[in-house]
């Protein structure tokens, strides 16, 4: 969980944004809620946009003096002093996505040495201009970074950005349950399953789709990454309407129920209270952080993907103690409300049997909970979801 500058600021940032984010996250409750990383993304180096990363005479990259007048290590120290971890970014290829030559390819050992000496706690390793698949090349790259990070002696969360492991790289099908290379989960702590998310509903759906069938792969220390949350940004910018609130809640619920990294990315200085309350929802966060054998996935019952027509999706995550989290989801952008059903017996975590069972259903956003018979049935407007935690199921009492 954390915050990253990329979605709101792209490469147009200065260090002030990070100092400010650290301060904001302490005062607005995000730190207490569990958001611990503050991450930079592409564009921190000297030479950004000139076509060449500036490296000093020893070959080490230097930070942009214009962006970091006080120096990058001073910022990292501040982030640490405030009780956060610092996430850094580099690119495994020879040229950055922005076109600057001289990113980490050929400098891997030096760069890991430099970054860890600054005290980084996370490293996102991007894939711009790396060799195109075969996957074996991607694996070699990731194996090298894995070894260097392990040898550094510093505990660094390793985030693989698009080096293999995607569902849409031509080796896997978009709608099927895609094949999987086990090295993806063995060598990094999180890996992107898809291309870059944009701040649109359609892009959110596309990246969500890349999680389908991958819940069994995620687990403690190894997470599917559908990319940053766009909650509060672009098409998700909150306009005060119910529809706008609901679509933001749906996006967050879907990332939470799939154990996806919760890296939020709006400008926190102007983040509306209603959006902040989504970030701070304790039940949503606890659903995201618990693990009971599957990271969360589309629900399969009797061999069928429930809601398989994609107009009504059901995402499910088992939780410890016979508890389950479910997101019933209408991804359509317009049209009438759709009816969705989920019988309890389709949720294995509950161990609830035939009709007649009752369970406690907690509405994550509304906060109210009640005993409900048999299962869930809701009508959902386009771009909305019903996010619940279900527990304490009871079988039917014996009639004598």
Taking the complex as a whole, the smallest distance from the CB of residue 197 to ligand GLA amounts, in Å, to 8
| Distance of closest approach, residue 1 Cβ to ligand GLA, in angstroms | 17
Judged by CB under 6 A, the residue of 162, 166, 249, 383 near ligand GLA is 162
Out of 42, 261, 296, 318, point to the residue binding ligand GLA (CB under 6 A): 42
Q: Which residues are catalytic?
A: 126, 196
Q: Work out whether 97 is an interface residue with ligand GLA (CB under 6 A).
A: yes
Binders in 107-126 for ligand GLA, by CB under 6 A: 126
* Rounded Cα–Cα distance for residues 34 and 280 (Å): 9
Question: H helices within the chain, ranges in order?
Answer: 6-9, 15-27, 30-33, 72-81, 108-118, 135-152, 183-187, 201-209, 242-257, 273-280, 282-289
Strands across the sheet containing 384-394: 297-298, 313-319, 323-330, 384-394, 358-363, 369-373
Question: How many residues interact with ligand GLA (rule CB under 6 A)?
Answer: 9
Are the beta carbons of 146 and 187 closer than 8 angstroms? Answer: yes
Which 193-252 positions form the footprint of ligand GLA (CB under 6 A)? 196
Out of 8, 38, 149, 161, the only residue in the binding site for ligand GLA (CB under 6 A) is 161
The phi and psi torsions of 386 (rounded to 5 degrees) equal -115, 115
> Cα(first)–Cα(last) distance of the chain, in Å?
52
Q: How far is the CB of 300 from ligand GLA (least distance, A)?
A: 30
Nearest to ligand GLA of 6, 329 (CB atom)? 6
Does 375 contact ligand GLA by CB under 6 A?
no
Binding status of residue 41 toward ligand GLA by CB under 6 A: yes
Nearer to ligand GLA, 263 or 276 (CB): 263
Helix, coil or strand: residue 217: coil
Report 124-153 residues binding ligand GLA (CB under 6 A). 126
SS3 78: helix
89, 71, 64, 62: which is closest to 19 by C-alpha? 71
The yes or no reply on residue 100 touching ligand GLA (CB under 6 A) is no
The residue among 166 and 383 lying less far from ligand GLA, judged by its C-beta, is 166
Provide the token pair at 82.
Answer: 């405030």
State yes or no: residue 61 binds ligand GLA (CB under 6 A): no
- The residues that touch ligand GLA, with contacts defined as CB under 6 A, are 6, 41-42, 97-98, 126, 161-162, 196
């Amino acid at each position: 969980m954390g915050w990253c500058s990329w979605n709101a600021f792209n490469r147009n940032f200065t260090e002030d944004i990070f100092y400010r984010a650290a301060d904001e996250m302490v005062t607005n409750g995000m730190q207490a809620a569990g958001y611990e990383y503050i991450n930079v993304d592409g564009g921190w180096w000297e030479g950004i946009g000139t076509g060449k990363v500036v490296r000093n005479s020893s070959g080490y990259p230097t930070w942009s003096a214009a962006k970091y007048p006080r120096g990058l290590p001073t910022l990292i120290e501040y982030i640490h002093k405030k009780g956060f971890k610092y996430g850094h970014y580099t690119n495994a290829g020879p040229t950055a996505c922005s076109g600057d030559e001289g990113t980490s390819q050929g400098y891997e050992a030096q760069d890991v040495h430099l970054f860890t000496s600054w005290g980084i706690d996370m490293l996102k390793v991007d894939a711009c201009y790396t060799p195109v698949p075969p996957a074996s090349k991607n694996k070699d790259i990731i194996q090298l970074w894995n070894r260097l990070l392990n040898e550094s002696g510093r505990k660094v969360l390793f985030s693989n950005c698009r080096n293999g492991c995607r569902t849409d790289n031509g080796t896997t099908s978009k709608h099927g349950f895609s094949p999987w290379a086990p090295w993806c989960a063995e060598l990094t702590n999180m890996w992107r399953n898809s291309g870059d998310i944009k701040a649109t509903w359609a892009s959110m759906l596309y990246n969500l789709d890349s999680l389908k069938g991958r819940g069994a792969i995620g687990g403690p220390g190894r997470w599917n990454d559908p990319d940053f949350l766009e909650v509060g940004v672009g098409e998700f910018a909150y306009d005060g309407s119910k529809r706008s609130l609901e679509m933001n809640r749906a996006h967050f619920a879907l990332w939470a129920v799939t154990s996806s990294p919760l890296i939020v990315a709006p400008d926190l200085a102007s983040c509306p209270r209603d959006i902040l309350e989504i970030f701070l929802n304790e039940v949503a966060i606890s659903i995201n952080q618990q693990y009971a054998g599957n990271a969360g996935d589309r629900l399969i019952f009797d061999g069928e993907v429930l809601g398989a027509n994609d107009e009504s999706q059901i995402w499910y995550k088992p939780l410890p103690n016979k508890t389950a989290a479910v997101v019933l989801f209408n991804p359509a952008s317009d049209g009438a409300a759709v009816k969705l059903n989920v019988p309890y017996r389709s949720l294995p975590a509950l161990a609830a049997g035939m009709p007649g069972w009752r369970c406690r259903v907690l509405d994550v956003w509304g906060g109210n909970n009640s005993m409900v018979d048999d299962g869930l049935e809701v009508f959902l407007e386009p771009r909305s979801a019903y996010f619940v935690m279900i527990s304490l199921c009871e079988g039917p009492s014996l009639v004598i």
